[in-house]
Structure 1
Amino acid sequence: MHQLRIPSARRLVQLYAGLVLYGLSMALLVRSGLGVMPWDVLHQGLARQVGWSLGVVTMVVGALVLLAWLPLRERPGLGTVSNVVVIGLALDAALAVLPEPGSLPVRAALVPAGILLNAVATAAYIGVHLGPGPRDGLMTGLVRRTGGSVRVVRTSIEVVVVAAGWLLGGTLGVATVLYALAIGPLVHALLPRLSVRRPAPAVRAEIA
C-alpha cells in the first residue's frame, strides 16, 4: 500500500520559486522584442489571434498539452499541474510591471538575462523531482512511444510550434535561436547544483 508523501518545505519553495522565475524569464525575452522561446512563438501568435493575454494563452496551451499525455500514459505530478498555472500567472504579472525598453542596447541585454534566468528556473523546478512540465512530458512520452531520440523528437516538436506560431504572428528572432542553442548546456550545468535528493521510499513493517 502506497503512503502519501508530502514534499518537504525546501522542495516546495524551490518548485514555486523556479516557476515564478520561469515566468519572469519569459517576460524579459518578450520585452526584448528580439525573439522569444520556441513555445512562446506559438503562445504569442495565438494571443494575437484570440486577443487573450500571453499568460492566459500559456496556461490554456499547457492544459491542452497535458490532455495529450492521456494516450501517452504519462503521469503528472504536483510540479506538472503547478507549471500550467503558476508560469502563466507569473508571466502576466511580470509583463504588467516591466516597461518596454526603448534603446536597442537595453533590449539586447534582456536576451542573455532572460536565457540565463530561464536556465536557473528550469533547473530549479526540475531539480525537485515533482513532475515535469507538460511540454517536457509530451516530449518524453513521444520518445518512449516512438523509440526516437530525445534530440529528434524535441527538435521536431519545436520546429512545428515555431512554424505555427510564426504563421500566426509570433515573434521569431535572434533570441529564439540563441535560446535553442544555449538552454540545453546551461541547464545541464546548473541541474546538479539545484537537484534536491529524493527521499527514500517509505518502508512499512508488516506484523505477521
Structure 2
Amino acid sequence: MALIGNLRHRPLRRLSQLYLGLVLYGLSMALMIRSHLGLDPWDVFHQGVAERTGLSFGTVTIGVGALVLLLWIPLRQRPGLGTVSNVVVIGLVVDATLALMPATDPLGLRIALLVTGIVANGAATALYLGARLGPGPRDGLMTGLVARRPGLSVRLVRTVIEVTVLALGWLLGGTVGVGTVAYALAIGPLTQLFLPPFTVSDTVAPAPDGAAPVAPVG
C-alpha cells in the first residue's frame, strides 16, 4: 500500500523523523506569524482565508491541505503516510503554538522570530521529506502536474502556483512583507543544506564475510 510505503525499512527512524519534522514545521509557521513581517506564499493564503472566515489559522491549513489532496485524484497521485499526517499535524501544532505564544512588539524580537522560523522551516522540510513517507499535499500537487505535463518544469509550475496563492492571499488580507521575500530566497538553500543528513536510505549495506546485511546509518 502507498500509505505504508517505506515503513518496511527502518520504521522507527522514519516515523520519529517524520513527526518531528511536522511538529517543527508547525512551530516555524507560528514563529513567522508572530513576527508580523511576512509569510511564505501558502501561509499568506491561509492567513487571508482565516481573516475572511473567522476560522483559526490551523483549521484553514488543514482544510486547504485536504482540498489540495483531492486534486491529486485526477493527477493519479498516491498519498503516503507523510502526506496524510502533513494535512493534520501541522495545523494542530500551529494553532497550539499560537495559543501559547503571545504577540510581541519590539522589532528586534520580531526579526529574531522571523529568522528562527525560516531556519526551522528549512530543517523541518528536510526532516519530513528525508523520511520518505510521502510529500505534503502542496508539494505533491506540484510534482503531479509536472508528471502529467512533461514539458513543464518544476520551477515553472511551483512559481505559477505560489504566485497565484500569494496574490489571492494578499487580496484576502494575508501578511506580505520582507519575510515573504526572505523565505523565498532562503528556503531552497536551507532545505538543500539540511536534506543530506536527514535522508533515510532504502539501501542495505552488504556485511563482510557473509554476515547479515546491515542498514547504513543515515
The interval holding the TM-score normalised by the smaller chain is over 0.9
Which residue of structure 1 lines up, in the alignment, with residue 200 of structure 2? 196
Which residue of structure 2 lines up, in the alignment, with residue 203 of structure 1? none
Q: Aligned residue pairs: how many?
A: 199
* 1:170 correspondence with 2:174: yes
Letter in 1 for 2:129: I
* 1:61 correspondence with 2:64: yes
Letter in 2 for 1:181: L
* 1:113 correspondence with 2:116: yes
Letter in 1 for 2:27: L
What is the CA–CA distance in structure 1 between the aligned matches of 2:187 and 2:128, rounded to whole Å? 15
**Structure 1 gap segments, 5+ residues each:** 201-208
Which residue of structure 1 lines up, in the alignment, with residue 104 of structure 2? 101
* 1:183 correspondence with 2:178: no
Task: Kindly provide the CA deviation profile for residues 82-115 of structure 1, in whole angstroms up to 9, marking residues without a partner as x.
Answer: 0000000000011011111110110011111000
Which residue of structure 2 lines up, in the alignment, with residue 206 of structure 1? none
TM-score with structure 2 length normalisation?
0.88
**Structure 2 gap segments, 5+ residues each:** 205-218
Which residue of structure 2 lines up, in the alignment, with residue 88 of structure 1? 91
* 1:24 correspondence with 2:24: no
Does the aligned pair in 2 maintain the 1:129–1:198 contact within 8 Å?
no
What is the CA–CA distance in structure 2 between the aligned matches of 1:117 and 1:38, rounded to whole Å? 17
Identity of aligned pairs, percent?
63
Task: Kindly provide the CA deviation profile for residues 103-152 of structure 1, in whole angstroms up to 9, marking residues without a partner as x.
Answer: 01100111110000000000000001000000000000111112211111
Does the aligned pair in 2 maintain the 1:36–1:171 contact within 8 Å?
yes
Letter in 2 for 1:120: A
Which residue of structure 2 lines up, in the alignment, with residue 124 of structure 1? 127
TM-score with structure 1 length normalisation?
0.92
Which sits farther off after the overlay, 60-69 or 142-151?
142-151
